Structure 1
Amino acid sequence: MWTLLSCCPSSILAQQNGNPFESVGDQGEWTVGVPSGNDVVAPAVVPQQLDQQARENPSITIGAVSINSGSQIPAELLASSYEKFIGQEASEDLLRDLASDVSAAARNRGYIFASARIPSQSVKIGIVEVLLDPGAIDEVRIIGSANRRLRKILDELQRPAALSDIVERQLLLAGDLPGITLLNSNYQREDGKGVLVVTVREDKAKGHVALDNYGPETLGPIRMRLNLDLPGLLTDSDVLTTNVIGSAIQPKELTYIYARYAMTLGNGGTVVGISGAGGRTRSGGRLSNFDFTGHNRYASVFASHALKRSNDLNLWLNAELAYLEVQQSQNGLLFQNDQIATAALNFSGNYNVGIGRIYGGLGVTQGLGIFGASQSGDPLNSRNDGSGEFTKANFWINSILNIGNGFGMRLAGNAQIASRPLLSANEIAIGGPYFGKGYDFSERFGDEGVLGLAELRKEFNDVSAWLDWLQFYAFVDGGYVSNIGTNLGDGSLASAGGGIRSQIGRLDFSFEAAAPVGNDRFESGDQSPKINIQVGLRF
């Protein structure tokens, strides 16, 4: 029996949505375990004795080797595995080594369930026949779910000779299916058939609720966030994802609701869907007397296709058509109305570098100038020289590296270039919980910029009977942004700090102190540390 898949902690999406640095733990970090060609696998290689002629003449010299795999595996691929045996005298140990080397060579070529044996035979002119079972998957048996899309994805594995890259891809795509968690997979022989047994867990809903103080002082600094996934809403392959953010103490100051409906198509490699969002703000704190209010609306259609899915390398092509409207008013009078219609195309992926995984993405967004999009010079633009017609390119990278002995690193970056001045929603900014953590939201903003973060970590697992996981970390971050044609709002910021992250069962907690370096923070007017706290519950 071959064990193919180690237990995964949760059903996780291979690609995160939204900010690439908010949910780095949800980026398809799990892998399927496929035996290598050096593994000793069952059924054990036990060559059968040669026939009576061979027993009576034990000094048979191997003059040639004939590989019989029923035409499933080209014999020339395996020639190097048996060349060294030619010219040697046959013995039980030698034949066992021959069968083992042929099996290993086939597995190294990707036929991961291949096994060889030497049957009883009449050796003529020194030709020894090796029977090579190519490792067929005749049946896929799913335990734990009757999901029809899961069945369609895994039935792609039924073939006369299983190949490791196809097995990896389909198992990973099965794990990407909403609500499905792959627990383990085994390959076994039953009555001469190859059976792949896949055990899964199917969840009807999962979510995360959190309380944090990430918000600015003028928009309810204490925020509540709810993320909820509802798979299988209409079909076996869809999921409704909702995100709600609101001010916990001053609910009138901030409310934002986002919904995304996605459906997996075909054999699991393509996802299509729609999304929409709406939000409202009413400035409080020191701005409460000015009666600033805001509204935003967003809608999109999107598609994503997995170009490559494997343990080591994953690559997706993503496309989106979107519309965004942002309005701001004072005392009921509209003074800003940005309308932006865009088409975006990007590649995202991750790569296993041995000591960790590197995630990244590269994309282009084109402002289409349709559906009443803002035009340059419009007095209601957030920026007078900005426009709904533009081109911008983004690049992001995020790496999680294990140095050893519980130490690790995180290196992350984000960059943007643009063809012309942008409206505020399309700008790149420093400040907030992702880059420039010692500052308030968007203290520096611009059309173009480069942001970076470096973090050193030390983590402890199973700390006590009640503390499952604990991590200490220190970081430096910052960046530089600039505006095309003007210096308003641009510049550089840097911050440094540290904190702890922990997990107690379904509860998670983080505490962080982030201090500005070289520049005062806007709200405090000094370089005192910004304290960031989050408490969350997964369900």
Structure 2
Amino acid sequence: MLRFAKSLPMGLFSFPLISVFAPDIASAQNPAALNAARVEEGLADVEEQIDVGSEPARPADAAPDVRPFVLSGVQIAGSEGPVPPAVTAAYEPYLATLVGPQDLLDLLGAVTAAYESAGHTMTRVTIPPQAARGGILRLQVDQGRIGEVRITRGDEAAPEYDAFFSFASADRPWDASRLKHAVLMLEDLPEVGEVNAQLVPEAANAGLYALEVDVTQEDADNFLVLDGYGSDSVGPLRAYGLFSTNRLLAPGDEWKLRIATVPDRPQEFVTGALDGEFALGGGGDRIGFDIGASRIEPGGVDGTGRSVRGGVRFETPLGRERHSGTWLTVGLDLRDNKFERDGRMSRKDSIRAARAGVYSYRRTRDARIRMDAVLSQGLSVLGATEAGEALSSRPDAEPGFTTLRVNAGYRRELSANWQLDLDGTGQLSSGPLLSSEQFFLGGAILGHAYDDGDISGDDGIGGSITISNTIPVSQGRDYVILSALAEAGMADYRRIDGLAAQSLSSASLGARWLTGDLDLGAELAIPLHIDSPFETDSDDIRFRFRAIYRL
């Protein structure tokens, strides 16, 4: 599985569980009914928060002690290379005018800002003692050399983070944009909460600064979840557990154990996965792995499905700013899925795939945008299921499939309490796909009034619109969120004669209560339309709920 650590548009974690197989697509049985891979990806609408550390602090400039004079020219000393044109443009408005202490302080600020806008963002400009003969003002430029970096976590030194600031040198000016980038990369580590950086002048060395970096610890997230987004095949209730820790083996590592089952019928469905990630240096690169297994034995179906998977991945930031970021992830994914009836193999798929994905987000004052796209290429290696194998979920599926999956979301703050959310998902394939690579709709992701996978196909598209109102209660300690949702989607199979494209639409009214470590939600999901060859409870209004407890 290719997992984006940052791309959590639907909730707390990405949890595509492992596939097991259903009867033929053309039969009356929903092909997702036995497919554990389509258990809901996200648990709650919890938005990722990215807080960037404070800007480097500089000592305040004092107004120069000079008498007013007519400024006829400016001389700049200490600037390496040509003076940027923006600097000249900054002081030109003051030429041939009478300037006093406050005017000179304003000029100083304008010149400093010009250096920063030209990319020299650690430059400090000062006015040395002078007589201003002939109306000439001398400015001294110090382009910010760092003599020492001191990193602490609480009251203790934290040398394990030195790699993030390894480019600091007293031999050359240091651009503060690199400091900002280092702070962002450090804050992206799972165990790091907030990073505060401050420049402190070194009294014994004029022009040198000590960079003091304070790192606060971030606690790992652990959640228990019970919800009513199950299905008729394995029961309406589902229970999840997410247990995570960090810094287990090394700074920057993160471990997550995920477990899911049907609480009143644990023998019918259980799945688990272990995920690990490790930091590579201070540039934001990470490597990771995931392994998982599942077992499903739904009531009313004479058979047992089992599945195992494993994957490795590499992630690197393509761009990271204060309110935006883009990451590239590449990985390899291996899955083996089996379904047995009466002790005999009924279905068997083996998928080997290379995946490359891009995740990006951007925040503005009143909007948030996110997008992730994953390109998957099947590989005919290591025993991958070949076309024509009788026990495969799609005998006409080629092992060298290609798919492009895109998810996108947009949130707009309409006012202090009202929000608008637009979400979309889609997949385009090169041909017929094995079961676990198909596009499914229905359930908690899209199609709340239906079971997971009530419609499916090789290609598909879907979208939703949500209006919500956040109401502070208990003097702002708790919140109630009321929402209205409308959603629709369609899916289509390639190369299946007589099976038209399927579609669904539904609406829901929901409420959530957030209090302390508890998040309680409920909704009435109303089916509007479904066109599917499989049996569905398309006329039933469903009551859904979810309870999330943070340990």
**Fold conserved between structures, TM > 0.5:** yes
Quick check: 1:121 aligned with 2:118?
A: no
CA distance in 2, matches of 1:149, 1:303: 21
Displacement, 1:345? 1.0
Displacement, 1:316? 0.9
Root-mean-square deviation (Å)? 2.8
SS in 2 for 1:79: helix
- Counterparts in 2 of 1:501-516, with a 5 A limit? 501-516=512-527
Other-structure match for 2:351: 340
Displacement, 1:358? 0.7
Displacement, 1:527? 2.2
Displacement, 1:154? 4.3
C-alpha offsets along residues 103-141 of structure 1, whole Å, 9 cap, x if unaligned? 232334454554433222133443211223444554343
CA distance in 2, matches of 1:184, 1:476: 43
Displacement, 1:165? 3.3
When normalised by structure 1's length, the TM-score is 0.87
Displacement, 1:431? 0.3
Displacement, 1:396? 1.4
Identify which of 467, 476, 486 aligns with 2:486: 476
Other-structure match for 1:374: 385
* Contact 1:297-1:325 at 8 Å conserved across structures: yes
CA distance in 2, matches of 1:450, 1:528: 24
CA distance in 2, matches of 1:387, 1:373: 10
Quick check: 1:49 aligned with 2:65?
A: yes
CA distance in 1, matches of 2:157, 2:499: 58
Structure 1: where are the runs of 5+ without partners?
1-11
SS in 1 for 2:98: coil
Question: How much identity, in percent, do the aligned residues show?
Answer: 24
Identify which of 223, 238, 250 aligns with 2:253: 238
CA distance change for structure 1 residues 269 and 526 in 2, over 3 Å: closer, same or farther? closer
Instruction: Tell me which moved more, 433-442 or 499-508.
Output: 499-508
- Counterparts in 2 of 1:138-537, with a 5 A limit? 138=147, 139-144=149-154, 146-156=157-167, 161-182=173-194, 184-189=196-201, 191=203, 194-203=209-218, 205-284=220-299, 287=300, 290-461=301-472, 463-464=473-474, 467-486=477-496, 488=499, 490-519=501-530, 525-537=537-549
| Paired residue type of 1:411 | L
Identify which of 14, 19, 22 aligns with 1:18: 14
* Contact 2:285-2:317 at 8 Å conserved across structures: yes
CA distance in 2, matches of 1:13, 1:389: 27
* Contact 1:220-1:248 at 8 Å conserved across structures: no
| Paired residue type of 1:29 | Q
CA distance in 2, matches of 1:120, 1:23: 64
| Paired residue type of 2:274 | A
Displacement, 1:446? 0.5
CA distance in 1, matches of 2:364, 2:100: 43
| Paired residue type of 2:514 | Q
Other-structure match for 1:130: 139
Displacement, 1:96? 2.0
Displacement, 1:469? 2.3
Other-structure match for 2:52: 32
C-alpha offsets along residues 131-154 of structure 1, whole Å, 9 cap, x if unaligned? 234445543432326555433224
CA distance change for structure 1 residues 196 and 468 in 2, over 3 Å: closer, same or farther? farther
Other-structure match for 2:108: 99
Identify which of 71, 91, 96 aligns with 1:82: 91
Structure 2: where are the runs of 5+ without partners?
17-40
CA distance change for structure 1 residues 508 and 236 in 2, over 3 Å: closer, same or farther? same
CA distance in 2, matches of 1:140, 1:109: 28
SS in 1 for 2:70: coil
Displacement, 1:258? 0.8
CA distance change for structure 1 residues 23 and 71 in 2, over 3 Å: closer, same or farther? farther
* Contact 1:383-1:422 at 8 Å conserved across structures: yes
CA distance change for structure 1 residues 116 and 309 in 2, over 3 Å: closer, same or farther? same
CA distance in 1, matches of 2:145, 2:439: 52
Displacement, 1:326? 1.3
SS in 1 for 2:260: strand
SS in 2 for 1:87: coil
CA distance in 1, matches of 2:424, 2:485: 13
CA distance in 2, matches of 1:228, 1:155: 33
Displacement, 1:67? 2.5
Displacement, 1:365? 0.5
CA distance in 2, matches of 1:484, 1:185: 56
CA distance in 2, matches of 1:174, 1:33: 10
* Contact 1:436-1:493 at 8 Å conserved across structures: yes
Instruction: Tell me which moved more, 15-24 or 500-509.
Output: 15-24
* Contact 1:15-1:27 at 8 Å conserved across structures: no
SS in 2 for 1:84: helix
CA distance change for structure 1 residues 91 and 153 in 2, over 3 Å: closer, same or farther? same
SS in 2 for 1:459: strand
CA distance change for structure 1 residues 216 and 523 in 2, over 3 Å: closer, same or farther? farther
Instruction: Tell me which moved more, 294-303 or 129-138.
Output: 129-138
Size of the aligned set, in residue pairs, is 512
Relative contact order higher in (CA < 8 Å, ≥ 6 apart):
2
CA distance in 1, matches of 2:513, 2:142: 49
CA distance change for structure 1 residues 465 and 46 in 2, over 3 Å: closer, same or farther? closer
SS in 1 for 2:87: helix
* Contact 2:187-2:195 at 8 Å conserved across structures: no
CA distance in 2, matches of 1:169, 1:438: 44
CA distance change for structure 1 residues 77 and 33 in 2, over 3 Å: closer, same or farther? farther
| Paired residue type of 2:451 | D
CA distance change for structure 1 residues 423 and 506 in 2, over 3 Å: closer, same or farther? same
* Contact 2:51-2:194 at 8 Å conserved across structures: no
